[in-house]
Homo-oligomer: A and B are copies of this chain.
Amino acid sequence: LSGSEDQVISSSPTIGVFDSGFGGLTVLRALVARAPQARYAFIGDTARLPYGSKSSRTIARYAAQSARFLVEEQGADYLVIACNTASALALDAIKEAVPSSVSVIGVIEPGAEAAHRASKTKDVLVIATDATVQSHAYAAACRARGLRAFEKACPLLVPLVEEGWNNHPVTTEVLRIYFEELVNQASSQGLKPDTLVLGCTHYPLLRPLIEQIIASDIKIIDSAESTADKLVCYLSHDLGAPPEPTIDAPSIRCYATDSVEKFERLGSRFLGRPTGKVELVDLGG
């Protein structure tokens, strides 16, 4: 854990959370549930989303700007990259953009680690956006742990969540179609999966429906939860003790790089509480 020995971390550290949009608020929600005493600054680079269609060089440049904003202007001691695309393509660039004393956590490695712990057959399924699947970042992280991963892009799920159809017959039907294809394709390749990774920050809102549809012997791994678990592990290492939950209202400030309307309108569903006023920031470029 870089820098942890030569730096005193406040017992109420600041955790910077970054996403290209507001889906990463599900990660922030999981963080706040585990470490409510920390201060949180969340930035959604809404001016430049979606990252999925952009080149890795462009994504690295954008993500580094947001990372510097969180560290230099918000005083973040930890950075959580709550964006699958940026975690897949820009984690090293983000680490280089901030002082080595700042711990940087992406969402992909913790998801793969949790899948490794959960799976007995060592065959796992991953659902994600088109961009995340094309990066094959989950497959690589799984392979590094001796897992075989079968990835499937589910591009309709994000718009269904954003339409608010989290518990809607159409969404049930779309999930049923996607899972039928997923299971058939995986088994045609000889896999016997017992674990499903939710590889997109929007998908935790569909977990109740997914649990109804997927076979009951398949364990569900939520990357948002796994990432928050890892951050808590870092915190307890650096602070010498697990964070002590308090009952006060948590300190959360949200920023966006363009139009905040959709962020404020939909964000509370992802965060599980009101986002408060979302402040507009200009990162240049």
Among B58, B156, B162, B165, the residue within 8 A (CB) of A163 is B156
Closest-by-CB residue of B relative to A261 is B134
A209 to B: closest C-beta gap in Å: 15
What 1/0 flags go to A76-92 for Cβ under 8 Å of B? 00000000000000000
Closest-by-CB residue of B relative to A260 is B53
Among B156, B160, B259, the residue within 8 A (CB) of A53 is B259
Among B46, B58, B156, the residue within 8 A (CB) of A47 is B58
Q: How far apart are the CA atoms of A44 and B165 in the complex, in Å? A: 30
Interface: A145 (CB within 8 A) = no
Q: How far apart are the CA atoms of A50 and B158 in the complex, in Å? A: 15
User: Given A53-B262, A54-B259, A170-B174, list of 19 further CB < 8 A pairs?
Assistant: A47-B53, A47-B58, A50-B50, A53-B258, A53-B259, A55-B258, A58-B258, A155-B162, A156-B156, A156-B159, A156-B160, A156-B163, A156-B165, A159-B159, A169-B173, A170-B173, A170-B177, A173-B173, A285-B285
